[in-house]
Amino acid sequence: MGPSVSREIAIPPEVAWRLLTHVAEWPRWGPTVAGGEVPGGVIDPGARGTVRTVVGVSLPFEITDFVPGRSWAWSVAGVPATRHRVAPTAGGCVVTFEVPWWAPGYLAVCALALLRIERLAAAS
């Protein structure tokens, strides 16, 4: 496990999971993501696709670990990247982003993503 940041959010775990796994949702909460493509629009085990960054660079990705409804991890351009976890709570769920040990600076971006997910949930 690497460094991580979590946030308890008052939404059902299924809603958080949908936001995390439907590629069209990524730009709504991901500060560094402008878009993405994957066959079917939803990631699943072993899925491969492309993520477009806010600076206009498109990079290939692969889902390297996937536990339905609970967690997924990916590599971007062949480099291990974030792990995303959803854990149910009495009032909703806890969403956690974990980064590789060598990328703790990215936790600030992940914290902003969690805040955006919470705001999306509050607006719906």
Residue 124 clears pLDDT 80, i.e. is over it = no
The predicted model gives 31-50 an average pLDDT of 98
Residue 1 clears pLDDT 80, i.e. is over it = no
- pTM for the complete prediction? 0.95
Average of per-residue pLDDT values in the chain = 96
Can you list the positions of beta strands (E) in the chain? 4-9, 33-37, 48-53, 58-67, 71-76, 79-89, 92-98
Residue position matching structure tokens 């085990």: 45
- CATH superfamily label, 4-123: START domain (3.30.530.20)
Secondary structure, 3-state, 40-60: HHECCCCCEEEEEECCCCEEE
Residue position matching structure tokens 């980064």: 99
Tens digit of each residue's pLDDT (9 = 90 or more) over 47-94 = 999 999 999 999 999 999 999 999 999 999 999 999 999 999 999 999
